[in-house]
Amino acid sequence: MIAILSALAEEQTGLVECMTRVECVEHAGRTFWLGHLDGQEVVLTLSRIGKVAAALTATALIAKWGVQRMVFTGVAGGTGPGVAVGDVVVGSHYLQHDMDASPLFPRYEIPLTGQSLFPANPLLLEAACAAVREVQSDLRGGRYRADLHCGLIASGDRFVSASSEVHALLAAAAASGFHPLAVEMEGAAVAQVCADYQVPFVAIRTISDRADDAAHTDFPQFVRETASVYALAIVRKMLRL
Ligand code: ADE
């Protein structure tokens, strides 16, 4: 079974309606939709926002339903050069930008794992990128260019909404050799849980804002008007590949 996870309802709108043989289960304060989508057995749910909420949801998906693959779909703030609103970032690696147990452990390292970066599963990564490429021309029919970027996604319990904050975050990450293309608030937490359980994982993030001084207005507008169009097109294409 494949888990399809998003933080917010707007990032998953339309997917439940496309499912067949749907069963709805309440667990841990969340609604889990089990059924079939494009010939695959799936479970859909919303993590809500932040690393703890996302880690809890990923754990429930694995421990209660034994999901064999996990795909996160949602939005992110673009931080890499040329990563524009309406582009898509598929995470090849995930970093927790607010992890700092120094001087006990190196900045960004998840204590007692020896790792700062958690990689995406190579097959899911390739499938996600292929799906984005296949729907790109449809998405380009809208207002955005829908360019695909594949690279590092940084997660933290902070909505980044100032240019000064982005610059500080990027400078600190660069000092440790990391160059995130996008920031969000869940992906790296799910990647860590999936690594512990050895469940293949990938996150696909559409850029809703540039994490700058306009982020607080760009984000809600994009989430309201566009996020679900991308999620629906990319996830359904990925399931069909
Ligand atoms: N998700 C979408 N935009 C974001 C931002 N600017 N900061 C954190 N998470 C986000």
Domain map (residue ranges) of the chain: 2-240
pLDDT digits (tens, 9 = 90+) for 1-54: 999 999 999 999 899 999 999 999 999 999 999 999 999 999 999 999 999 999
Pair 153, 207: CB distance under 8 Å:
no
pTM: 0.97
Is position 109 annotated as part of the catalytic site?
Answer: no
Four-point Cα dihedral 225, 228, 233, 237, nearest 10: 160
Which atom of ligand 1 lies nearest, measured to the CA of 211?
A: 6
The first and second tokens of residue 84, run together, are: 């524009």
Q: Is the beta carbon of 6 within 6 A of some atom in ligand 1? A: no
Four-point Cα dihedral 228, 58, 111, 80, nearest 10: -10
Which atom of ligand 1 lies nearest, measured to the CA of 158?
A: 8
Q: Which parts of the chain register pLDDT below 70?
A: none
Pair 185, 153: CB distance under 8 Å:
no
* Cβ-Cβ contacts under 8 Å for 204 (sequence gap 6 or more): 71, 72, 73, 88, 89, 90, 91, 128, 131, 132, 231, 234, 235, 238
pLDDT digits (tens, 9 = 90+) for 191-208: 999 999 999 999 999 999
11, 87, 109, 218: the catalytic one is 11
Residue nearest to atom 9 of ligand 1 (CA): 184
Instruction: Please work out, in degrees rounded to the nearest 5, the angle formed at the alpha carbon of residue 18 by the alpha carbons of 12 and 24.
Output: 75
Task: Name the residue among 11, 55, 2, 63 with its Cα closest to residue 33.
Answer: 2
Gap from CA of 116 to ligand 1 centroid (Å): 20
Give the separation between CA 167 and CA 185, rounded to whole angstroms: 18
| Ligand 1 pocket mutation pick from 159, 163, 204, 213 by most atoms within 8 angstroms of CB | 159
Gap from CA of 102 to ligand 1 centroid (Å): 25
Q: Is the beta carbon of 57 within 6 A of some atom in ligand 1? A: no
* The 3-state secondary structure of the chain, one letter per residue: CEEEEECCHHHCCCHHHHCEEEEEEEECCEEEEEEEECCEEEEEEECCCCHHHHHHHHHHHHHHHCCCEEEEEEEEEECCCCCCCCCEEEEEEEEECCCCCCCCCCCCCECCCCECEEECCHHHHHHHHHHHHHHHHHHHCCCCCCCEEEEEEEECCCCCCCHHHHHHHHHHHHHCCCCCCEEECCHHHHHHHHHHHCCCEEEEEEEEECCCCCHHHHHHHHHHHCHHHHHHHHHHHHHHC
pLDDT of 143? 87
The architecture (CATH level 2) of 2-240 comes to 3-Layer(aba) Sandwich (3.40)
Q: Is the beta carbon of 208 within 6 A of some atom in ligand 1? A: yes
Is position 209 annotated as part of the catalytic site?
Answer: yes
Q: Is the beta carbon of 54 within 6 A of some atom in ligand 1? A: no
Gap from CA of 238 to ligand 1 centroid (Å): 24
Predicted complex ipTM: 0.99
Scan for tokens 């990391």, then name that residue: 178
